[in-house]
Structure 1
Amino acid sequence: MLRPSVAPGRASHAPGSLNSHEYAAAAAQRLAEKKKEYEAVAALESASNLLLQRMSGISGDFDVMADAGRVHGQVLEQWPKMFQILSLFVSQRQQTEASQEEESTVSSNFEGQRLVRVPIDELASEKH
């Protein structure tokens, strides 16, 4: 049985064996392939981290939009109550204006008239 030579610079006579130059070229080619593979994995890891950061940012934006939606819903929930309060205010204001108009009409009827109390009993007693 023949085995490859371990001595430097000697060619091996075993079938399928490579000489040192061929072996070094094959190892260099394999090393270059592994470097490319490593660079591809490193680029994939970098892209994955970038994607994770972007997705985290989008998640934060969605949280803000969800909170804004809740607040918007709470505000919309208050509109019917606000319109009810406004209608009560308007009806009360109309009633107040109507009563003020009545008072101004009654007071305008008596405008210019002055009520004076005349002590008739005292005057009558002074004449006698």
Structure 2
Amino acid sequence: MLTGTLTTQHQDMRQSVAPNRMSHAASLASHANNTAAMARLQEKKKEFEAVAALERASALFVKRVEGLGEDCEVMADAGLVHGQVLEQWPNMFRILSLFLANREQQNDGAEEPSTTSSGPGERLVRLPVDELQVDLQK
């Protein structure tokens, strides 16, 4: 009878160990799942931080490109003004040549300024600016 009791106790021990092993295995599986979930959470956090950094860098890039666009518009306006100035140079050289021709004729004493060979409406007139300023002050 003693042998039967030991066998029964031994079977009871085996039965009591088996559920512990199963609960321990379930605990290990749960812990492994929890660890995997935490690792995935950390990975997603890093991914989110990288996307946020990319978004900040993109916003900064957009601001810089907009600044370059504004600078290009200023340069385009300056180019228009530069073109307008260059357009006037032929007129300035024409006026200068008229002045020099008129001055040479006066120095030679050959003709009066009113009978020069310049075209209609192309005549330089000397204005006495100093006399006008004196008259204005009086």
For Structure 1 versus Structure 2, the TM-score category normalised by the shorter chain is 0.5 to 0.7
Q: TM-score, normalising length from structure 1?
A: 0.63
Runs of at least 5 residues in structure 2 that lack an aligned partner in the other structure: 1-12, 110-138
Q: TM-score, normalising length from structure 2?
A: 0.59
Taking only aligned residues, the RMSD between alpha carbons, in angstroms, comes to: 2.2
Q: What is the letter of the counterpart of residue 70 of structure 2? A: R
Runs of at least 5 residues in structure 1 that lack an aligned partner in the other structure: 1-8, 13-17, 111-128
Aligned twin of 2:62: 62
The structure whose RCO (Cα within 8 Å, separation 6+) is larger is 2
Aligned twin of 1:44: 44
Cα offsets for 1:69-92 (capped at 9, x unmatched)? 012112213322322222224312
- After the TM superposition, which segments of 4 or more aligned residues of structure 1 sit over 3 Å from their partners? 9-12
**1:105, distance to aligned residue in structure 2 (A):** 4.8
Mapped to 1, the partners of 2:43 and 2:97 lie a distance apart of 78
Q: What is the letter of the counterpart of residue 75 of structure 2? A: V
Return the structure number with greater helix share. Answer: 2
Aligned twin of 1:80: 80
Mapped to 2, the partners of 1:52 and 1:82 lie a distance apart of 45
Map of 1:82-97 to 2, 5 A cutoff? 82-97=82-97
When the two structures are aligned, how many residues end up with a matched partner?
96
Mapped to 1, the partners of 2:87 and 2:105 lie a distance apart of 27
